[in-house]
Amino acid sequence: MKILKLLNKVYLSIFIIIFSLSILDLKAEEELVDIWKIEKKIDEEGLNDLEIKDNSLIGNSSESIINYESTLLIQNTQLEENNIILAGIYDPEENGLSIDMWSSSDGEEIIKIFNRIKKIDLSNDAKKILDIALLTNSFFPSNNIEEEKFLNFKFDYLIESKNLNLIKIYLSKNNNYNNSRIIKFYINHYLSNSDLENACKIFKNLNLFNDNYLAKFKIYCLINENKREEAQLIFDLTKELGLKDKFFENKFNLLMGYASQNDDKLSDKNILDFHLSHRVNKDIQYKPNKNTPKIIWKYLSSSNLLQNISEIDLENIEEISIIENATHENIYEENDLFELYKRFQFNINQLLTANDTFKLLPNYEGRALLYQRLLLSNNTEETLELALELKNSFNEENIGNAFNLELSNILSKINSDDVPSNFSTFYEKNLINETSEKEKVKINNKIIHQSKLINYFQGKSDEKKLKKDLADVLKNVKKNKKYFVSNKDLMLLESLVSDGFEIPKKYQNLFKLNQSIIPNDIGLLINNKEIGLVLLRLVEFIGEDELKNIGPETVYFMISILNQLNLDKIRNDILLKVLPLKI
Q: Which of 36-50, 195-209, 254-268, 496-510 has the lowest mean pLDDT?
A: 36-50
In a domain? residue 208: no
| pLDDT above 60 (res 514) | yes
Return d(Cα 176, Cα 417) in angstroms, integer: 58
Q: Quick one: CA torsion of 488, 490, 495, 496, rounded to 10 degrees?
A: 120
Domain count, the chain: 1
Q: Quick one: CA torsion of 254, 260, 266, 270, rounded to 10 degrees?
A: 0
Return d(Cα 407, Cα 430) in angstroms, integer: 7
In a domain? residue 301: no
| pLDDT above 50 (res 16) | no
CA-closest candidate to residue 142, choices 107, 108, 115, 113: 107
Return d(Cα 77, Cα 389) in angstroms, integer: 61
With cut-offs at 50, 70 and 90, classify the pLDDT of residue 2. very low
**Between 30 and 488, whose confidence is greater?**
488
- Whole-number pLDDT of residue 368: 95
In a domain? residue 509: no
**Mean pLDDT calculated for residue range 381-397:** 95
Distances (CA, A) of 508 to 43, 223, 273: 46, 74, 71
CA-closest candidate to residue 327, choices 406, 245, 241: 406
| pLDDT above 60 (res 21) | no
Check if the beta carbon of residue 89 is closer than 8 Å to that of residue 170.
yes
- Whole-number pLDDT of residue 261: 73
**Mean pLDDT calculated for residue range 366-389:** 95
In a domain? residue 370: yes
Q: Inter-axis angle of helices 520-527 and 552-564, to 10 degrees? A: 20
Return d(Cα 74, Cα 175) in angstroms, integer: 13
Q: Which of 55-64, 181-190, 225-234, 481-490 has the lowest mean pLDDT?
A: 55-64
In a domain? residue 79: no
Q: Can you list the alpha helix ranges (DSSP code H) found in 29-141?
A: 35-50, 63-81, 107-118, 124-135
| pLDDT above 80 (res 559) | yes
Provide the residue range defining the domain that includes 365: 310-430
- Whole-number pLDDT of residue 85: 55
Report the mean per-residue pLDDT for the chain: 82
In a domain? residue 225: no
**Mean pLDDT calculated for residue range 538-555:** 92
Give CA 59 to chain center in angstroms. Answer: 39
- Whole-number pLDDT of residue 84: 47
Q: Which of 8-22, 286-300, 481-495 has the lowest mean pLDDT?
A: 8-22
With cut-offs at 50, 70 and 90, classify the pLDDT of residue 439. low
- Whole-number pLDDT of residue 171: 87
Return d(Cα 21, Cα 78) in angstroms, integer: 16
| pLDDT above 50 (res 52) | no
Handedness of CA 94, 99, 101, 102 (dihedral sign): positive
Radius of gyration of the chain (CA): 30
Return d(Cα 238, Cα 69) in angstroms, integer: 13
Check if the beta carbon of residue 12 is closer than 8 Å to that of residue 233.
yes
In a domain? residue 154: no
Return d(Cα 89, Cα 134) in angstroms, integer: 9
Q: What is the pLDDT of residues 450-477, one digit of tens each?
A: 999 999 998 887 888 899 999 999 998 8
Using a pLDDT cut of 90, give the percent of the chain over it: 55
- Whole-number pLDDT of residue 428: 86
Check if the beta carbon of residue 531 is closer than 8 Å to that of residue 565.
yes
In a domain? residue 112: no
| pLDDT above 70 (res 6) | no
Q: Which of 25-39, 344-358, 426-440 has the lowest mean pLDDT?
A: 25-39
**Mean pLDDT calculated for residue range 181-185:** 92
Check if the beta carbon of residue 530 is closer than 8 Å to that of residue 141.
no
Return d(Cα 263, Cα 244) in angstroms, integer: 18
**Mean pLDDT calculated for residue range 331-351:** 93
| pLDDT above 50 (res 81) | no
Return d(Cα 14, Cα 290) in angstroms, integer: 50
Residue 170 burial (CB count, 10 A): 21
The pTM of the full predicted model, rounded to 2 decimals, is: 0.74
| pLDDT above 90 (res 343) | yes
DSSP letters, 143-170, are: BS--HHHHHHHHHHHHHHHT-HHHHHHH
- Whole-number pLDDT of residue 427: 92
- Whole-number pLDDT of residue 434: 54
With cut-offs at 50, 70 and 90, classify the pLDDT of residue 178. low
